[in-house]
Chain A
Amino acid sequence: MSIDTAPGASANALDATSRVATRRDILHRLLMTLGPILAALIIAGCILLAVGVDPLAYYGYVLEKGLFSPLGIQQTLTRMAPLLFLAAGLIVAFRAGMWNLGGDGQFLLGAVMAAASAPVLVQVMPAWLALICAFLISMVVAMAWSLLPALLRAYQGVNEIITTLMMTFLGTSLANVLVKLVFRDPGTTVPQTRTLPVEDRLPRLFDTTITSGLVLGLAAIIIVHLVMTRTAFGLKLRIVGANPRAAVHAGLGVPGLTVAVFAISAGLAGLAGAVDIIGVQGNVRADWNPAYGLAVIPAVFLARMNGFAAIGFVFLLSVLSIGGESAARRLGVPNHFTLVLVSIVLIVLALAEYVDHRYNQSRKA
C-alpha cells in the first residue's frame, strides 16, 4: 500500500515519491509471489528427489508444456475458463461472508444439464441460440440446487457449511444418476451423455485451440469484481459479510440478500460446468468429477477475494495442472504429484503473506 507518503511535501516531490513507491510496491508484490513459488518448487523438488525423479526435468516439462509450448499454453488458457467462473462465484459468496463449499456439486449438475440439453437443442434451433439456452439451463439448475441451503441459512440460521457440503455430496451422486439413467447416450456402451459435435461447441479464439469460454470467464470474474467493489449492491453484500447484525440495523433485507448471494454463486458454478462441457469436453462420462472447486477455494482466499489477483492464481493453477499432467506422463510419475505441488504452493504463499504482514507491522511500530 502506498498511502503512507508524507503529507505536506510539495506536489512535485509527492508525485515522484509516490511513483517510486508504486514501482517498489509492484516489485515487492512480484517478489512476494514469485519467491514463495520458487521456494515451493524447491520443497516439492525434494519430494521428487526422494522418490527418484529428477526435479529439474520434471519442472522443465511443466514449464515447457504448461507455459512455453504453443499447444500447451493454449490448453492452459482453455483450462482457465471453468476455473474463472468458479472463482467468480466464490468471490461473491466469500465477500458476503457465506461459505459456499458446494461448488463441486453445483458445477457437476451444471455440466450434466449442459451436456443433456445442448446436443438436443442444436438439432432444433441455430447453434448460437442452443448454446445460450444450454448455459441458461445449467445456471438455473445450479441455482435451484443452492436454494435449500440458502433458505435454511436465511430463515432458519442453519450453518451453510454443513448444508452446502451435503448438497455437494448429493449433487455429485445425482449427476451420476442422471448420466447413467436419464441422459445416457443409447449409442454407446460406456455410460455417458450424448456428445455435442465439435463444430457446435463454443467457437475457438482466432486460429488457436483456446476456447472462447476463456473470454466469458474473464468477463464474468471482472464483472463480479466490479459489482462487488463499485456498486451499491456489492457494498450491501459486503456489509452483510462484515457484520450481518449491523446489516439488519442498516435496513438491509438480509434474508433476501442471502438467497441472492447463493443464487449468484451457484449460478456461476453451474456456468463453470456448462463452459467446460460446451467449450471443451462435449459430453459427461459417468463418475466424471474433476473437483476443481477444492483447489479454487484456497486460491480465492490467497487472492483476498480480489478478482484480478484471482485471475493470476487461476492462471498459476492451470499452468501447474496442465504442465503437471504432461510431466507426469513423460517421467512415469503418477499425476497425483500435481496435487502435492499445488498444496505446497498454497501453503508457502499463505506463509509468505504472513511473514510480509509481520515485517510491515514491525517496521511501522
Chain B
Amino acid sequence: MTGLFSEVFLGALLFGAVTAAIPLLLAGLGEQMSEKAGVLNIGIEGMMLAGAYLGFVGAFYSGSLWLGFLTGAAGGVAVALIMALLCVRIGLNQIVIGIALTLGLEGLTALLHHFQFSRSYPRLPAADATVIPLLSNIPVIGPAFFKHHLIVYVAVALVFAMGYVYRRTQLGLNLQAAGDKPAALDVAGIDVIRTRTIAVLTTGALAGLGGAYLANVGAGLFIPFITNGAGFLGIVLAMLARGRPVWVLFGALLFGVCLSLTTAMQVAGINIPTDIIQMLPFLAVMIMLVLFGRRASLPAALGIPYERGAR
C-alpha cells in the first residue's frame, strides 16, 4: 500500500486524470454550445467517433499530430453538418437523428477500421509534451499538469474563451436567445437557423477534436467504439454546468480522476473490480443532485426546431 501515495504514483494518477478529462471537456464544451442555442445534440457520440477515426487516419498517414487534430475536427464537422441540415434547417426530431447518427458512426468507423487496420493495429508514437518552464518543476503538480501536449492547454484556454464569448459578445447573446426565445431573436433581425447552425458546427469541431485527442494522444490508436460513452458524459456535463464553461472543466476533471483511478488501481494491483470504480463519478454527481437538487436551468426552446411563422 505504500506505493499508493508515493509522489510518482500521485503524479501519474493526476496526469492520467487530465488526459482522460480532455475529451470529456471538449465534448462538454461543444454540447454546451448546442444546448445554449436550443439544439439537444445526442449525435455528439457519433461526432466524437468520426473525429477519433479521421483524426487517427490523418495523423497516421501524415505523421503529424496537428494534421490529425485538424482532420478529426473536420470529421466532427462533417457529421455536425448532417445534423444541422436535418435538425436545424428542416427541423427533424433531434433525438431520432442524434441517436441514428451515433449508431451509424459507431458502425461505420468500426467497419472502416476492420478493413483498414484490423490486421495490423498500427499505433502512433507517443505524443510530444510541451513542458512549461518553472511550473513543471513543482513536485507532483508539475509533471501532472504542465507536461502535456500543447492541445491540452489550448482546450483549457477554450474554456475561458467560451466564457468570454457567452458573456461579452453579441454572438454569445444570440446563442442564448436562439435557445431561450428564438422568435425574439428572429424579430430582432438575426437569423435563428444560422445562429443554431453555427452552434451545431462548432459542437462538431469540438467533439471531433475531443475524439481525435482520445485516439491520438490518449490511446495512440483507433479501436472500434473507442469513445465508450464519452459523448453521453459530455451531455451530462453540459447539463450539469448550466451554461457555464468553467463548470464543464470541473466536471470533466472529476470524471477524469475517477477514470484514471481505474487504471491506477489496476497497476497498483488493488483488486477492486473496475466496474465499481467506474461507478464513482456517477455516484458523486447523483449524490450532489440529491443533496442540492439543482433545478434544471435548460434553455426554454431546447429540442424544439424553429420554424419561422409557426405558432
A: residues with CB less than 8 A from B are: 47, 51-52, 99, 148, 152, 155-159, 161-163, 165-167, 169-170, 173-174, 176-177, 180-181, 294-295, 297-298, 301-302, 333-334, 336-344, 346-347, 350-351, 354
Contacts and interface: CB of A to CB of B under 8 A. Distances in A.
A297 B95 contact: yes
| A contact face: mostly helix, strand, loop, or mixed | helix
Interface residues of B, number: 48
Contact of B293 (A152, A161, A174, A347): A152
Contacts of B93: 301, 350
Contacts of A180: 273, 275
A246 B106 CA distance: 41
B235 A165 contact: yes
Given A166-B282, A346-B100, A354 B289 contact: no
A336 B111 contact: yes
A350 to B, nearest CB: 5
12 contacts: A99-B95, A152-B290, A161-B239, A166-B285, A177-B276, A295-B99, A297-B95, A302-B96, A334-B110, A337-B107, A340-B107, A350-B86
Interface string B86-102: 10001111011101111
Which 9 residue pairs of A and B lie closest in terms of their CB atoms, listed nearest first?
Answer: A339-B107, A343-B104, A156-B293, A159-B296, A340-B107, A336-B110, A346-B100, A298-B96, A173-B275
Contact of A158 (B102, B114, B296): B296
B282 A339 contact: no
A340 B50 CA distance: 13
A343 B100 contact: yes
Contact of B97 (A170, A173, A347): A347
A342 B236 contact: no
B275 A351 contact: no
B139 interface: no
Given A157-B296, A294-B103, 20 more contacts: A51-B112, A157-B293, A162-B240, A162-B289, A166-B286, A170-B282, A173-B282, A176-B273, A180-B273, A181-B273, A295-B103, A334-B110, A336-B224, A343-B101, A343-B104, A343-B107, A346-B99, A347-B86, A350-B86, A354-B91
A286 B285 CA distance: 26
B240 A177 contact: no
Given A162-B240, A166-B282, A350-B86, A298 B110 contact: no
Contacts of B294: 158
A163 B283 CA distance: 11
Nearest to A340: B107
Contacts of A99: 95
A341 B289 CA distance: 38
B261 to A, nearest CB: 14
Contacts of B279: 169-170, 173-174, 177
B41 to A, nearest CB: 12
B229 interface: yes
Nearest to A355: B90
A9 B91 CA distance: 38
Given A173-B275, A350-B86, A344 B104 contact: yes
Contact of B289 (A152, A294, A338): A152
Most B Cβ at <10 Å: residue of A47, A51, A173, A351: A173
A111 to B, nearest CB: 16
B286 A170 contact: yes
Given A148-B290, A156-B293, A342 B103 contact: yes
B256 to A, nearest CB: 15
B236 A166 contact: yes
B108 A340 contact: yes
B232 A51 contact: no
A162 B92 contact: no
Interface string B254-298: 000000000000000000010110110011011001100111101
B96 A337 contact: no
Contacts of A156: 289, 293, 295
A148 to B, nearest CB: 7
B99 A158 contact: no
B278 A350 contact: no
Most A Cβ at <10 Å: residue of B239, B279, B283, B294: B279
Contacts of B96: 297-298, 301-302, 346, 350
B103 A339 contact: yes
A310 to B, nearest CB: 13
B29 to A, nearest CB: 17
